[in-house]
């Protein structure tokens, strides 16, 4: 009986620890507590990182092969601009402080990226 109780306690602690590390919330079971705007900001963060990666890859292709990749680089930067506009819209319209803070954090990340690439 004691062994079973210890196993249950270990599983519960492991679930809480896992959820805390992945979501930042102390919960037993992961919940979908994010709003639609929160999901959209996370999706836009992924799109931004993909566009930044595309821009870096275009630069690497230019350095390695000498091929003109300016169209690919310009498309990646245009995608970053589109994402920035969408995030600004979410930051302006949302009433949720967590989503607004997350959107502002992403906007700072985008601004820093644009300064780094000279856009």
Tens of pLDDT, residues 29-59: 666 556 788 889 888 998 999 999 988 888 7
Other Cβ atoms closer than 10 A to 92: 9
User: In the Cβ-directed half-sphere of 88, how many Cα atoms lie within 13 Å?
Assistant: 8
Clarify whether residues 113 and 67 are in a common domain. Answer: yes
Clarify whether residues 19 and 43 are in a common domain. Answer: no
Clarify whether residues 96 and 74 are in a common domain. Answer: yes
Clarify whether residues 86 and 102 are in a common domain. Answer: yes
d(CA 35, CA 96): 9
- For 15, the domain range is 1-33
Clarify whether residues 17 and 47 are in a common domain. Answer: no
Clarify whether residues 28 and 48 are in a common domain. Answer: no
Clarify whether residues 24 and 41 are in a common domain. Answer: no
**pLDDT for position 22:** 65
Clarify whether residues 45 and 27 are in a common domain. Answer: no
Query: Which residues of the chain register pLDDT less than 50?
Result: none
User: In the Cβ-directed half-sphere of 86, how many Cα atoms lie within 13 Å?
Assistant: 17
């Amino acid at each position: 009986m004691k062994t079973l109780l210890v196993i249950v306690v270990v599983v519960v602690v492991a679930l809480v620890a896992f959820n805390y590390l992945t979501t930042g919330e102390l919960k037993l079971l992961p919940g979908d507590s994010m709003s639609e705007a929160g999901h959209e900001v996370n999706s836009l963060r992924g799109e931004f990182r993909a566009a930044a990666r595309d821009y870096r890859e275009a630069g690497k292709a230019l350095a390695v092969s000498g091929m003109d990749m300016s169209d690919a680089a310009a498309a990646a930067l245009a995608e970053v601009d589109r994402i920035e506009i969408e995030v600004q819209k979410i930051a302006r319209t949302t009433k949720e402080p967590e989503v607004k803070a997350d959107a502002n954090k992403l906007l700072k990340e985008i601004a820093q990226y644009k300064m780094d690439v000279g856009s």
